[in-house]
């Protein structure tokens, strides 16, 4: 490792993971005058040099290490789940940028299921607004659903893709309101970055920098403010003092183990790696893992159900055109007593590049598609349209991350990820697939493939007011260890029915404000 600015020094804050949450925290805390070190397990990429318009090569943006999966509906890990490298999942995410609704924070009160969050929509509202402005989210003047109905900082994207027009047309025919989606993708120049030119490689890393990621927005600002951001540094343990406070972290770089001492440790390593790190840091004082007196570390992980429905059209749709998601509907977001299940879902028009299309249809419901039928479908790729589900999945403690006996190259036990849907989740999926198929058929398509899939992991270190049933408070501060925070998608109590990253980043901004406010008490050198 090159000569390090903070080598051997105790810093104010060490952040594990430079993704959506870690990036926000790094920027905010270093700009407040704190000494900050950020450690990420993956590389520091340069979009212009390292992002290729190549679906297969760019799978390396995902966390590809072996994870053991089980349960009644084992999850597919890798590219579709988490990122690895500076920017984390924001480097290859689709950039649909939605707020949660007020009802998402009150599943227990409203529907008698899961639990309420310890915060309400109103607590996050100012943070949503700050994040959306900071990254110039583009969106419609009027967004028809939820508490915030626009206008967004930047105008909505146009022109839309043929698949988005198809989706809006199908919705209109059925009397379903639809809208252009709010996106963390520029519709006009901003801070030296160009607007989107519709290359469509958002999930392969955006080479022209039109799509937001913390790699290109927050991390450069953090570095400018003095943060040290270290790539290819896998954190293997949170280190503890005899007084029951965290003292820093141990990490491996190039086969050697180093220590970074810090007054505050923030774990922002996402839904599998955050619990894995806490569990692997068990010691005599915390034999079940750090911050785990509730036994909830790793438990109640969630995803969104994310079925894809493909239909064939006489005319060409060309699913590769434009950014993947450009149109959406949240008409089915809230509990409808006629449905026979609680909670709801969002539907997106969703593009697919050829490799994604091929691997999707090969796992279609009703048996694998291969041979002549597979070939025939691929030859007709240009004629397929697609709608994708973002469905709420209720938390269940049996869905969890645990450690196995098998170790990785850093000597850290591999994670086992157990997942299965509940009854409510399955009924919701059936209902959604019915509506997705109806939209495609109303637009003139013939439904051919339904693909079971999931997206957006959340939970595993849930927040709450009660230390007996939650890992962190609403600021991500662990109940058990006051200078240890977990701040990332693992804090979620429920999954909501919208894409989560706006909420992840808004929570991180709120945590940063809290740490700044408490700087004196935490003995940090921050100026605030």
Ligand X SMILES: Cc1cc2nc3c(=O)[nH]c(=O)nc-3n(C[C@H](O)[C@H](O)[C@H](O)COP(=O)(O)OP(=O)(O)OC[C@H]3O[C@@H](n4cnc5c(N)ncnc54)[C@H](O)[C@@H]3O)c2cc1C
For residues 84 and 50, the answer to whether their CB atoms sit within 8 Å is: no
Cβ neighbors of 190 (< 8 A, separation 6 or more) are: 136, 154
Q: In angstroms, give the least distance from the CB of 412 to ligand X.
A: 8
Of 108 and 414, nearer to ligand X (C-beta) is: 414
| N-term to C-term CA, the chain | 32
16 binds ligand X (CB under 6 A): yes
Decide: is 387 part of the binding site for ligand X (CB under 6 A).
no
Q: Give the three-class secondary structure for 261.
A: strand
235 is in an annotated binding site: yes
**Which one among 14, 25, 32, 39 touches ligand X, defined by CB under 6 A?**
39
Strand partners, 391: 305, 345
- Count of beta carbons in the 10 Å neighbourhood of residue 103: 20
Per the rule left: phi > 0, alpha: psi between -120 and 50, beta: everything else, 367 is left
Closest distance to ligand X from the beta carbon of 93 (Å)? 4
CA atoms within 13 A on the CB side of 398: 9
Provide, rounded to whole angstroms, the least separation between the CB of residue 360 and ligand X. Answer: 13
The answer to whether residue 270 forms part of the interface with ligand X (CB under 6 A) is yes
Name the DSSP letter for residue 488. S
Among 6, 51, 93, 384, binds ligand X (CB under 6 A): 93
C-beta atoms surrounding 275 within 10 Å: 32
Q: How far apart are the C-alpha atoms of 110 and 13, rounded to whole Å?
A: 39
Q: Is-contact 112 93, C-beta < 8 A?
A: no
Contact residue for ligand X among 218, 263, 343, 456 (CB under 6 A): 456
CB of 32 to ligand X, least distance (A): 20
> CB under 6 A: which stretch of 20-28, 50-58, 171-179, 381-389 binds ligand X?
20-28
154, 190 contact by CB (below 8 A):
yes
Binding mask 414-433 for ligand X (x = CB under 6 A): --------------------
Does residue 228 belong to the site contacting ligand X (CB under 6 A)?
A: no
Give 202-260 as a DSSP string. GGG--TTS-B--TTTTHHHHHHHTT-EEESS-EEEEEEE-TTSSEEEEEEEETTEEEEE
| Rounded-to-integer distance, Cα 138 and Cα 188, Å | 9
In the bound complex, what is the minimum distance in angstroms from residue 276's beta carbon to ligand X? 7
Contacts with ligand X, 503-522, as mask; x by CB under 6 A = -x------------------
Among 12, 13, 75, 90, binds ligand X (CB under 6 A): 90
85 part of the interface to ligand X, by CB under 6 A: yes
Region binding ligand X by CB under 6 A among candidate stretches 11-19, 143-151, 220-228, 326-334 = 11-19
Nearer to ligand X, 41 or 389 (CB): 41
β partners of residue 388: 308, 348
The reply to whether 75 sits near ligand X by the rule CB under 6 A is: no
Q: According to CB under 6 A, which one of 237, 329, 377, 501 is a site residue for ligand X?
A: 501
Count residues near ligand X (CB under 6 A). Answer: 40
Tokens at 310, concatenated: 């493909």
Strand 256-267 to strand 246-253: parallel, antiparallel, or no bridges (unpaired)?
antiparallel
State residue 52 phi and psi, 5-degree precision.
-115, 150
In the three-class reduction of DSSP (H, G, I as helix; E, B as strand; rest coil), residue 401 is classed as: strand
Residues 176-215 that bind ligand X (CB under 6 A): 203
Which span sits near ligand X by CB under 6 A: 19-27, 130-138, 193-201, 368-376?
Answer: 19-27
Binding residue for ligand X (CB under 6 A) from 94, 260, 330, 470? 94
Choose, by CB under 6 A, the member of 13, 14, 22, 361 that binds ligand X: 22
Cα 470 to Cα 417: distance, rounded to the nearest angstrom: 19
Is residue 137 at the binding interface for ligand X, with CB under 6 A as the rule?
no
Applying CB under 6 A, which of residues 80, 300, 435, 511 lies at the interface with ligand X?
Answer: 80
Closest to 358 measured CA to CA, from 343, 373, 337: 373
Go through 17-47 and write b for each residue having 16 or more CB atoms within 10 A of its CB, e for each that does not. bbbbbbbbbbbbbbbbbbbbbbbbbbebbeb
Q: Is residue 84 close enough to count as binding ligand X by CB under 6 A?
A: yes
Q: Which stretch binds ligand X (CB under 6 A): 15-23, 312-320, 401-409, 432-440?
A: 15-23
CA distances from 400 to 113, 282, 417, 461, 486 (A): 19, 18, 6, 10, 17
User: Nearest Cα to 139, choosing from 128, 153, 127, 123?
Assistant: 153
Distance CA 262, CA 278 (A): 17
Q: Which stretch binds ligand X (CB under 6 A): 37-45, 50-58, 133-141, 216-224?
A: 37-45
Q: Which stretch binds ligand X (CB under 6 A): 75-83, 339-347, 415-423, 443-451?
A: 75-83
Q: Which stretch binds ligand X (CB under 6 A): 86-94, 126-134, 222-230, 358-366?
A: 86-94
Closest CB to ligand X among residues 265, 269: 269
Q: How far is the CB of 429 from ligand X (least distance, A)?
A: 19
Q: Are 368 and 408 in contact (CB under 8 A)?
A: no
28 contacts ligand X (rule: CB under 6 A): no
* Member of 12, 40, 134, 308 binding ligand X (CB under 6 A): 40
Residue 488 touching ligand X (CB under 6 A): yes
Interaction site with ligand X (CB under 6 A): 16-22, 39-42, 80-85, 88-90, 92-96, 203, 234-235, 268-270, 273, 277, 456, 488-489, 499-501, 504
Binding-site positions for FAD read: 235
């Amino acid at each position: 490792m090159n000569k390090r600015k903070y080598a051997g020094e105790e810093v104010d804050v060490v952040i594990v993971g430079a993704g959506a949450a870690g990036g926000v925290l790094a920027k905010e805390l270093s700009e407040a005058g704190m000494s900050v070190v950020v450690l990420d397990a993956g590389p520091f990429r340069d979009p212009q040099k390292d992002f290729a318009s190549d679906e297969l090569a760019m799978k390396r943006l995902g966390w590809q290490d072996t994870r053991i999966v089980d349960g009644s509906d084992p999850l597919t890990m890798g590219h579709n789940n988490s990122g690895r490298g500076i920017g984390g999942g924001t480097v290859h995410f689709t950039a649909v940028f939605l707020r949660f609704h007020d009802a998402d924070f009150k599943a227990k009160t409203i529907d008698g299921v899961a639990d309420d969050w310890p915060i309400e929509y109103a607590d996050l509202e100012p943070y949503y607004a700050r994040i959306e402005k900071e990254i110039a989210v583009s969106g419609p003047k009027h967004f028809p659903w939820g508490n915030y109905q626009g206008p967004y900082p930047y105008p909505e994207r146009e022109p839309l893709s043929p698949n988005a027009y198809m989706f809006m047309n199908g919705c209109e025919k059925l009397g379903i309101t639809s809208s252009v989606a709010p996106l963390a993708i520029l519709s006009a120049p901003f801070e030296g970055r160009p607007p989107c030119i519709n290359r469509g490689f958002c999930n392969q890393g955006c080479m022209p920098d039109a799509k937001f990621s913390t790699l290109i927005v927050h991390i450069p600002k953090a570095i400018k403010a003095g943060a040290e951001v270290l790539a290819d540094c896998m954190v293997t343990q949170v280190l503890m003092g005899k007084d029951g406070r965290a003292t820093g972290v141990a990490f491996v770089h190039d086969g050697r183990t180093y220590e970074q001492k810090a007054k505050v440790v923030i774990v922002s390593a996402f839904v599998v790696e955050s619990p894995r790190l806490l569990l692997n840091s068990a010691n005599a004082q915390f034999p079940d893992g750090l911050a785990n007196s509730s036994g909830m570390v790793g438990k109640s992980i969630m995803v969104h159900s994310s079925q894809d429905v493909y239909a064939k059209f006489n005319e060409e749709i060309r699913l590769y055109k434009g950014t993947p998601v450009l149109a959406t509907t949240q008409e089915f977001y809230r509990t409808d007593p006629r449905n026979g299940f609680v909670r709801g879902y969002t539907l997106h028009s969703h593009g697919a590049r050829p490799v994604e299309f091929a691997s999707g249809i090969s796992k279609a419901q009703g048996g694998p598609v291969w041979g002549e039928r597979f070939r025939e479908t691929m030859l007709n790729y240009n004629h397929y349209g697609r709608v994708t589900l973002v469905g709420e999945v209720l938390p269940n403690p049996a869905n969890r991350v645990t450690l196995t006996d098998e170790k990785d190259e850093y000597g850290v036990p591999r994670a086992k990820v157990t997942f299965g849907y509940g009854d409510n989740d399955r009924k919701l999926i059936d209902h959604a697939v019915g509506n997705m198929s109806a939209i495609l058929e109303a637009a003139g398509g013939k439904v051919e493939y339904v693909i079971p899939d999931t997206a957006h992991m959340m939970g595993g270190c849930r927040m709450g007011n009660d230390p007996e049933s939650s890992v962190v408070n609403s600021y991500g501060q662990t109940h058990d260890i006051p200078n240890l925070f977990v701040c990332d998608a693992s804090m979620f109590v429920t999954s909501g029915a919208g894409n989560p990253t706006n909420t992840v980043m808004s929570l991180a901004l709120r945590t940063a404000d809290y740490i700044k406010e408490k700087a004196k008490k935490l003995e940090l050198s921050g100026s605030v």
